[in-house]
Each structure stands twice: as C-alpha cells, then as structure tokens.
C-alpha cells in the first residue's frame, strides 16, 4: 500500500446493509469470576468504515477488543473476520489475516530505537524466534521509514523509544500496527495522554489511511475525535450494547447521556 499525504476525506460512510462485514460479532460474551465484562454484544464493521466504540470506564470496551484480537477466549457467541469463523483462532492467526491493534497503555520496546521497533513489529508475524531475529530485508526497512515519515516521526528513527513523548510513542505504536499492512486497525484510546497538536496529527493520519482503504474500529473517550471521524458509533455500558447510530444520534441519545453523566 502506498503511503501519501492526500487530502483527507470526510468521515467514512456505512456500507450497504447487504455487504458482508469485515469484522462481526454475534452475541459475544466474556465473564470474569461470574461477572459479565461483555454480555451478548452484536456488532459489525464493514470494509472502509471508521467505527467508534465508546462507553464509561469499566463498560467492557477493552475486553471486547481483547476478544476480537483473540487475546481473550470468549465464553459465548461467535466472531467472524473476512467471512471466516475466528472464534477459536489464536492472536497470530488473526494478525496474519489482516487485523492489527494498539493498546490502552502504549506497548513499545523502550530500550530499542524507533526504527527497530518498526522492524520487529513486521517480523513478529513469524512464530520462529530465529526468523524473528534475522536481518530485515531492505524492502521492510524502506516501508518502516516510509511509515515513520507519514506519521511525522521519521526524524526520531534512531532515538530510543523510551526518549519519545507520550504522543510520539502513540504514533510509533500506530506505525508498528501498520507495518504488516493490515486490513483493519483496532485503536484503543489513541489520543490518551496526547497533546492537542498530535491529536490532530493522529486524526489526519487516520483519515488519510481510511481514504487509502484501511478500516478502523476506535475505542475513544474523546467524543469530538469520534464525532469528527466516525460514520457509526457503538456504546457499551456494564458490558452490554446500550446504543448504536451515527455520532449525532449518539450525542442526542438520553440513555447515553445518562450513562456518562448520570440522571
């Protein structure tokens, strides 16, 4: 996929209802000690969409991400990706199919350079340790530099990741998720701890990638960020789907307002 700085498009539009979802969950449930972290949640993300996932703290958003990326086994329901049942798939299997994610707490190798982080994130798809440690081909290094330039942190390529600001580490983590050229990215609070200038950079990069064909599912507490980017939004509360609709519909939904701010 070519990376460029094309003009950004407005928020993505939902796909036709008769089109197959790229990522879908049916009655997905996950329990911890008898408590439902996710309870009978239905959702779908279609190719080319930017979809938001919001809810109060503890509503089950990250647990749902863990289930979708197969870091957590589900206790009920079914997950499909690209039309295939991945309910019992391993994390590396869905990654190889084209699903990448970031985490609520940024996960980078702080004692390695920015460039090395990018190269490792491309190679970790191989399950063999020897293959992971082999030298990166020139094409992989070229892609890493291209993505770092796209994310406006190429000048930091030879800095240790631990020396970066919080926002720069967020951008690096997004770059790492992009290295395998996934079809869908699950971004968990990409703006948390990021200054306003870098938030606008992240927003612009997501729009541009979406224009180039990437699909996104975003967990986010920044409602303005969601409203600016997303065509559809799901709301979780106490592990259950509280609402679904356009950002405008969600912002006017009394049940959503009550869940966030109280009666």
> Can you give the residue ranges of every domain in the chain?
30-98+182-263, 107-181
Q: Could you tell me the CA-to-CA distances from 85 to 21, 90, 100, 112, 130 in Å, in that order?
A: 12, 12, 17, 36, 30
Closest to 71 measured CA to CA, from 215, 188, 222: 188
Alpha helices in 81-222 (DSSP H): 91-97, 114-123, 129-133, 138-150, 166-178, 196-211
Is 217:51 a contact under the CB 8 Å cutoff? yes
| Assigned CATH for 30-98+182-263 | 3.40.50.300
Closest to 64 measured CA to CA, from 85, 86, 48, 43: 43
Backbone angles phi, psi at 134, to 5 degrees: -70, 155
pLDDT at 133: 54
pLDDT at 19: 86
10-residue block means of pLDDT along the chain (263 residues)? 40 60 98 94 97 95 96 96 96 94 93 94 57 64 95 96 94 95 96 90 96 96 94 96 96 91 65
CB count within 10 Å of CB 51 equals 24
Is 42:25 a contact under the CB 8 Å cutoff? yes
Q: List 185's β-bridge partners, or say none.
A: 100, 216
End-to-end CA, the chain:
48
Backbone angles phi, psi at 22, to 5 degrees: -75, -45
CA distance 112 to 47: 34
133 Cβ contact list (under 8 Å, min separation 6) = none
pTM exceeds 0.75, yes or no: yes
- Mark residue 248 as left, alpha or beta (left: phi above 0; alpha: psi -120 to 50; beta: remaining): alpha
Q: Strand order of the sheet with strand 232-237? A: 99-101, 184-188, 215-219, 50-54, 232-237, 240-245
Q: Could you tell me the CA-to-CA distances from 235 to 81, 247, 249 in Å, in that order?
A: 21, 10, 11
pLDDT at 193: 84
pLDDT at 139: 84
pLDDT at 7: 36
């Amino acid at each position: 996929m070519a990376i460029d700085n094309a003009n950004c498009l407005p928020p993505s539009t939902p796909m036709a209802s008769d089109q197959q979802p790229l990522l879908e969950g049916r009655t997905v449930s996950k329990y911890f000690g008898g408590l439902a972290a996710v309870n009978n949640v239905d959702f779908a993300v279609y190719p080319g969409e930017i979809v938001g996932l919001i809810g109060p703290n503890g509503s089950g958003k990250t647990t749902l991400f863990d289930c979708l990326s197969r870091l957590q086994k589900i206790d009920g329901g079914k997950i499909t990706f690209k039309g295939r049942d991945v309910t019992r798939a391993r994390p590396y299997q869905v990654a190889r199919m084209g699903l990448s994610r970031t985490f609520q707490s940024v996960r980078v190798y702080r004692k390695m350079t920015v460039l090395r982080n990018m190269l490792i994130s491309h190679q970790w798809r191989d399950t063999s340790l020897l293959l992971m440690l082999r030298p990166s081909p020139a094409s992989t290094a070229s892609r890493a530099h291209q993505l770092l330039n796209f994310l406006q942190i190429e000048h930091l390529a030879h800095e240790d990741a631990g020396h970066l600001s919080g926002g720069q580490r967020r951008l690096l983590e997004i770059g790492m998720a992009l290295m395998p050229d996934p079809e869908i990215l699950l971004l968990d609070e990409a703006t948390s701890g990021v200054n306003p200038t870098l938030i606008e950079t992240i927003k612009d990069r997501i729009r541009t990638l979406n224009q180039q064909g990437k699909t996104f599912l975003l967990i986010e507490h920044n409602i303005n960020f969601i409203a600016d980017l997303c065509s559809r939004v799901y709301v979780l509360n106490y592990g259950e789907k509280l609402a679904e609709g356009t950002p405008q519909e969600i912002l006017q939904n009394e049940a959503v307002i009550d869940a966030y701010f109280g009666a």
